[in-house]
Amino acid sequence: MKKSLFRLIDRFELLICYVLCFGFNIMFDYVKSLSIDSYLLQTFLKQFYDYQAVIIFLLTFIVIIFHYQMLNRKKVEVYCKILVGDTIRFIIIRYIFECLVILGIAFVISMIITVILGISLVDNIYLSCIFVVYILISSRMVIKFENF
């Protein structure tokens, strides 16, 4: 924990970003599963869940923004850590591990909600895969900071 690149506020921000994406996804799935008899409401909502995949994908961009801006702010910190004996390999492993733990927490929260609402979990699993890819790509950014 002490050697982590994350501060408490960063962890909190990342968790909120994940929860927001999962939350929107659950909301779409839940609304789809409802039987709405109002035509007006149905057409209004249809215009959104027709584009569910696109909207959710666009929302995942907030996670990219988070990774990008956080790592950019930590440039000097990474360099200083290496100066005092840390290795880039361990920094990356710790970073990936911590991101995965936060993702895990968000996923468990979303899983509990989907079970309570009785909707499919498949979409959220796909979404988690996208986030894992983002984590792996962003970890490559850390390597660049080795030579400040």
Residues of the shown chain interacting with another protein in the complex, contacts defined by CB under 8 A: 13, 20, 38-41, 43-44, 47, 55, 58-59, 61-62, 64-66, 68-69, 72-73
Alpha-carbon gap, residue 66 to 19, rounded angstroms: 13
What is the smallest separation between the CB atom of 3 and another protein, expressed in angstroms? 22
Residue 33 identity (one-letter amino acid) = S
User: Based on CB atoms, which residue is closest to another protein, 115 or 133?
Assistant: 133
Nearest CB to another protein, comparing residues 37 and 84: 37
Q: Which is nearer to another protein, 59 or 121 (CB)?
A: 59
Question: Following CA atoms 116, 130, 101, 114 in sequence, which dihedral angle do they give, to the nearest 10 degrees?
Answer: 0
CB of 131 to another protein, least distance (A): 16
CB of 22 to another protein, least distance (A): 14
Tell me which residue has tokens 């850590």: 81
Residue with tokens 């360099």: 79
Helix/strand/coil for 11: helix
CB-CB neighbours of 23 under 10 Å: 16
Residue with smaller CB distance to another protein, 55 or 88:
55
DSSP 36: -
User: In the complex, what is the shortest distance from the CB of residue 41 to another protein, in angstroms, rounded to a whole number?
Assistant: 4
